[in-house]
Structure 1
Amino acid sequence: MAKATERLKYISLAILVLQCTTLVLAMRYSRALKQDGPLYLASSVVVSVEMLKFVTSIFLVFKDNGFNFQASKHVMRDEIINKPIETLKLAIPSGIYTFQNNLAFIALSNLDATTYQVTYQLRILTTALFSVCLLGKKLGLFQWLSLLILMAGVVLVQWPEETPGTSEQAELLTSNQVVGLLAVLAMCCSSAFAGVYFEKILKETPLGVWVRNIQLGFFGLIFGIVVLFVKDGEAVIRSGMFQGYNELTWIIIVLQAFGGLMVAVAIKYADNILKSFAMSFSIILSCFISYLWFEDFDPASFFFLGAVLVIAATFLYGFDGSVKESGRAETV
């Protein structure tokens, strides 16, 4: 039994690494790929992801109720339709997640995959701050220290250096990096607030996770369609919602839709330390693939020092959290 659990830990670790690395690299490659015809609409992909998540969540509710149609309908009616106020509460995180998913495509259109992943680790800081403010969470000494190290690491990763080439090329590159950085920072704040808000709702009104995902998916689908037609309405009318879709686009949709499920499975069997190792290894793997394969990653002089600090901070934060949880379990 112990060997099977140990094996599941490392399988979960591999799943988490593959999911994090593959999704980011696939998104970056798809945005940088030169192809005949129009590029797929990022807002359209977000709608497709929300639709797939919504349908999958309904299927999983049926599965949890033994594929009994009446029982499943009863659960969804009682918990969603008959509790409109509770359902409407999910509109806030759902709208934020839709906004965040659109920002991810903007960020990866302007930053290489490695810089994006390292900078996005700032969500540890924003999540910690929102957790302290909204949930009254107390952080340990090592966690506060890790947040300071994290900020220093991200500053070094983004530290500007002289760019070779003409002043126009340098100005364009700097402009793209600023747009990408602002998108990632907005993602860090929105992701943290939505995650903590969702956690607060789950703690206040315990309910099956798949029912919650149906609520999130429903509002996400509405918000996604609104963004699609406001931002790309003319293009949709002219060439259709699925213009520019190819095999890679569908891979991205599946990875994003099932990403949360993959991470949940991984965390179920792996502790915070293994999760931190997975995130760190994902950054390193993205670095090598971006440099050797995509050839769009040219690290600045301070990049590697900053990346090491971010990886160390990620591990230190997870380690302190794991130790506190272990100590809490021993005293019960």
Structure 2
Amino acid sequence: MSRLKYVSLGVLVLQTTSLVLTMRYSRTLLGEGPRYLASSAVVSAELLKILTCLLLVFYDHSFSVRALNRVLNEEILNKPMETLKLAIPSGIYTLQNNLLYVALSNLDAATYQVTYQLKILTTALFSVSMLGKRLGLYQWLSLLILMTGIALVQWPTESLGGPSSKPLSAGSQLVGVIAVLIACFSSGFAGVYFEKILKETKQSVWVRNIQLGLFGLVFGLIGVFVYDGERVRESGVFQGYNSLTWTVVALQALGGLVIAAVIKYADNILKGFATSLSIILSTLISYFWLKDFDPTSVFFLGAMLVIAATFLYGYEGKRPAINHSKV
């Protein structure tokens, strides 16, 4: 069990860091040829997630086609009202996934990673209001530190007399920050809503993810044809796709499954350690490899406060863990 705990956390660090950096690189710094459609990538990720969850259900039932068919009929087709409950979080997650592409098209990976930790605050507030959870003193203190740290990370560098860190891509930091903030609120609400549904029923988490994925596929396809319909008609759904695009799709699709393993095998403090390590790695790679990030002392102070808040939030970690993301 101990080995599985650290393996799952190691995979989470690798998946989180890789997704942010490859998405950032593919959206801004890879300049040859047409850029792929973010809405199309979201749909591809949902489809891959459905196929992966089907395979996991198949595995759980000893690779029996009859058992798989029975589970899908009993848990999805024969319980339409239970399935429809997943439409709300699925629609929000689809919006959130599209917003992350917008955010990383306008923010460097390090700033995005730190700012996105605001989802800890939104998840905590929705947990208190929707699930009746009670937070301890350390947790409320950590949320205050978290907000302070994120405010410092977003502090305008020009006002400090320091050099302005201009990304290599032509993006708007305001657009990126707004996208992250909306994604944080959507993540908090949908995560708590999904947690509530999981606690009310005894369905397999993989079956729930199939239901989420099916709605996500529908909502995603609507998004493709509403926002990118003309481009799709001109050049197809998979325009601009290459090996890096498929890597981003795979990392996004499998992210929720990795988080499921972390929730099962790890605790809040170790999960906070994984988050902190991911932020540090993203910062280093953005600066030394992508070269789209020029850190200031204020950024480092803010990032350290966010990392400290992440650990402090999990300090009273014997409480039931809050589900921060879709699994």
Structure 1 residue 85 and structure 2 residue 75: aligned? no
Report how many aligned residue pairs link the two structures.
318
Letter in 2 for 1:275: K
CA distance in 1, matches of 2:89, 2:131: 16
**2:42 aligns with one of 39, 43, 46:** 46
Q: 1:176 aligns to what?
A: 172
- Give 1:50 shift: 0.5
- Alpha-carbon distance in structure 2 between the residues aligned to 1:6 and 1:56: 25
Whether 2:117 is the aligned partner of 1:121: answer yes
Structure 2 CA distance for aligned equivalents of residues 205 and 11 of structure 1: 29
CA distance in 2, matches of 1:29, 1:180: 15
Paired with 1:270 and 1:74, the residues of 2 have a C-alpha distance of 32
Structure 1 residues 58-105: Cα deviation after superposition (integer angstroms, max 9, x where no partner)? 222222222222222122112111111111110000000000000000
Q: TM-score, normalised by structure 1?
A: 0.91
Cα pair 1:12 1:267 within 8 Å, conserved: no
Following the alignment from structure 2 to structure 1, what is the Cα–Cα distance between the partners of residues 131 and 251?
A: 30
Asked whether the equivalents of residues 107 and 171 of structure 2 are also in contact (C-alpha less than 8 Å), the reply is no
Which residue pairs with 1:22 in the alignment?
18
Residue 240 of structure 1 deviates from its aligned partner by 0.7
Picking from 76, 101, 104, the partner of 1:105 is: 101
**How many angstroms apart in 2 are the aligned matches of 1:11 and 1:246?**
29
How far residue 175 of structure 1 moved from its aligned partner, in angstroms, is 7.5
Question: What's the counterpart of residue 312 of structure 1?
Answer: 308
Q: Cα offset for 1:34?
A: 3.5
**Which stretch has the larger CA shift, 100-109 or 257-266?**
257-266
Tell me how large the CA RMSD over aligned residues is.
Answer: 2.2
- Report Cα offsets for 1:287-320 as digits up to 9, x if no partner: 1110011110112341111101000000000122
CA distance in 2, matches of 1:118, 1:98: 22
Distance 1:174-1:249 versus aligned 2 partners, 3 A rule: closer
Question: 2-side partners of 1:237 and 1:218: how far apart?
Answer: 24
Residue 256 of structure 1: how far off its partner (Å): 0.8
Structure with higher Rg: it is 1
Amino acid of the residue matched to residue 40 of structure 1?
Y
- Report matched runs for 1:1-332 at 5 Å: 5-162=1-158, 176-320=172-316, 322-324=317-319
Aligned-pair identity in percent equals 67
Q: Distance in 2 between matches of 1:126 and 1:253?
A: 26
Amino acid at match of 2:155: W
Q: 8 Å contact 1:15–1:266 — kept in the other structure?
A: no
In structure 2, the residue corresponding to 1:159 is in which secondary structure?
coil
Deviations for 1:6-45, whole angstroms, at most 9, x for unmatched residues? 3333322221111111110010011112433210000000
8 Å CA contact 1:94–1:217 kept in 2: the answer is yes
- The amino acid across from 1:157 in the alignment is V
What amino acid is aligned across from residue 181 of structure 1 in structure 2?
V
Deviation at 1:216, TM superposition (A): 0.5
What secondary structure is seen at the aligned counterpart in 2 of 1:248? helix
Structure 2 CA distance for aligned equivalents of residues 238 and 24 of structure 1: 29
Distance 1:189 1:268 in 2: 24
Structure-2 change in CA distance of 1:124 and 1:57 (3 Å): same
For 2:294 and 2:272, the matched residues in 1 are separated by 25
What code does the residue aligned with 1:192 have? Answer: G
Deviation at 1:268, TM superposition (A): 2.7
- Unpaired stretches in structure 1, ≥5 consecutive residues: 327-332
> d(CA) in 2 for partners of 1:38 and 1:174?
16
Distance 2:61 2:248 in 1: 30
Residues 251 and 307 of structure 1: CA distance in aligned 2, closer, same or farther (over 3 Å): same
Higher relative helix content: 1
In 1, the alpha carbon distance for the partners of 2:219 and 2:113 equals 26
Q: Which residues of structure 2 form unaligned runs of 5+? A: 322-327
Measured in 2, the distance between the counterparts of 1:80 and 1:324 equals: 32
CA contact (8 A) 2:106 2:170 kept: no
